[in-house]
Amino acid sequence: MTDLRTTTIPKSDQLNADDFIGGGRTIKVTKVLMTGASDQPVAIHYEGGDGKPYKPCKSMRRLLIDVWGADGNEFIGRSMTLFRDSTVTFGSDQVGGIRISHVSHI
């Protein structure tokens, strides 16, 4: 078998929308870190993440604060389902992005 899947893995240090082209995935949080970056200040690590954290956009951070609270340490052990939303724009370009569809502990 010539498995072509390895040729389509996005080169990135974090999850990105292309990781969800085949469908959504539920992740269980193991650690939440403040990165110090102004554009992506939060890195959410999860089981099986292989060092590629989920770095939620501002609207998804607001959603998480609304459902789980402002203390990132409280997120540990909780789960969320992530999916690709192809309608997300960056400037005037429709590039796709990661959104949250479900969360545990609500």
User: CB of 55 within 8 A of CB of 15?
Assistant: yes
The secondary structure of 21-46 as a DSSP string is: TT--EEEEEEEEEE---SS--EEEEE
Separation of CA 63 from chain center: 13
pLDDT bucket at 24, cuts 50 / 70 / 90 = very high
Q: Is the pLDDT of residue 32 over 90?
A: yes
In this prediction the pTM is 0.88
Single out the residue of 45, 44, 57 nearest to residue 17, CA to CA: 57
Residue 61: C-alpha distances to residues 46, 90, 100 (Å): 16, 17, 10
Q: How confident is the model at residue 12 (pLDDT cuts 50, 70, 90)?
A: confident
